[in-house]
Structure 1
Amino acid sequence: MNSHQQVNQLTEREVLAAAAELVAAFSRTDTRAYFAAFSPEATFIFHPEAQRLESRSEYEDLWNGWLADGWSVTGCESTDARVQLCGTSAIFSHTVNTTTRVGEITETLRERETIVFTRQGSRILAVHEHLSTAPSGAAESSAASAAASSSTPEAGVVASGTAA
């Protein structure tokens, strides 16, 4: 491996920081910051959707439809984070508890999420996200430790927020 490749390799700290920014933007329903965390060519697989979304713009269209219906994220907590480094790319996985609201209806979902990050120039962007349901009891053992952790990248990815 040459020195240029070594310089471009991702570190766990960089991936956790990128994931923390993405989760924090999502938890605030901050559309601009959230989608800025994804490459335009990113793909998405979400368990409630019938098909894979083939680009960031396809997901943005779906997201904007949700917003038009009055949807917002009111809280998002990440637990059980894991980073697998693969040179200039990395796989981030975690369990996420997300609370959303549409009008007066609030719903909390417990899901597992995998996000593939890659270095693109000076930025670390998500190029794929896969969201699936979590079986009951998934990552509950780490919930207590997550509650005690801070939102710094070194401690893992924990964010909660209230939609504006």
Structure 2
Amino acid sequence: MSGGGLISGDAEAEVRAAAANLVAAFGAHDTDRYFAAFAEDATFLFPAEHAAGEEEELRERETVVLRCAPDGRWLVIHEHLSPEP
């Protein structure tokens, strides 16, 4: 176990690699690779959108929950975006 966590060090490294791949795919605008990181039954929770035509910078906090699939891949099963306080 790593740092008193609930998963082994190997699994922690795999989760961190899966999260890094998700962020890299997003940054590269690689939609195929980005959505391949999600389970088919993933759920999403996003903040309410602004009215059409409004532009403002929105700083968000992102939380993702991953689960190990039967094939051994760590996939995102839930993504939650919320405004930074």
> Could you tell me the TM-score, scaled by structure 1's length?
0.39
CA distance in 1, matches of 2:64, 2:29: 18
* C-alpha distance 48-27 of structure 1, shift in aligned 2 (>3 A): farther
Q: Structure 1: 5+ residue runs without aligned partners?
A: 1-7, 50-105, 136-164
* C-alpha distance 108-22 of structure 1, shift in aligned 2 (>3 A): farther
> Secondary structure, in 3 states, of the residue corresponding to 1:12?
helix
Post-superposition shift, 1:18? 0.5
CA distance in 2, matches of 1:115, 1:45: 10
CA distance in 2, matches of 1:130, 1:47: 9
Task: Tell me how large the CA RMSD over aligned residues is.
Answer: 2.1
> Secondary structure, in 3 states, of the residue corresponding to 2:45?
strand
Partner of 1:48: 48
Deviations 1:101-154 (A, max 9, x none): xxxxx965321111110100221100000000001xxxxxxxxxxxxxxxxxxx
Q: Structure 2: 5+ residue runs without aligned partners?
A: 1-7, 50-54
Partner of 1:117: 66
Deviations 1:79-119 (A, max 9, x none): xxxxxxxxxxxxxxxxxxxxxxxxxxx96532111111010
> Could you tell me the TM-score, scaled by structure 2's length?
0.73
CA distance in 2, matches of 1:20, 1:46: 21
Equivalent pairs: percent with the same residue? 56
Q: Pick the aligned partner of 1:132 from 60, 65, 82.
A: 82
Count of residues in correspondence between the two structures = 71
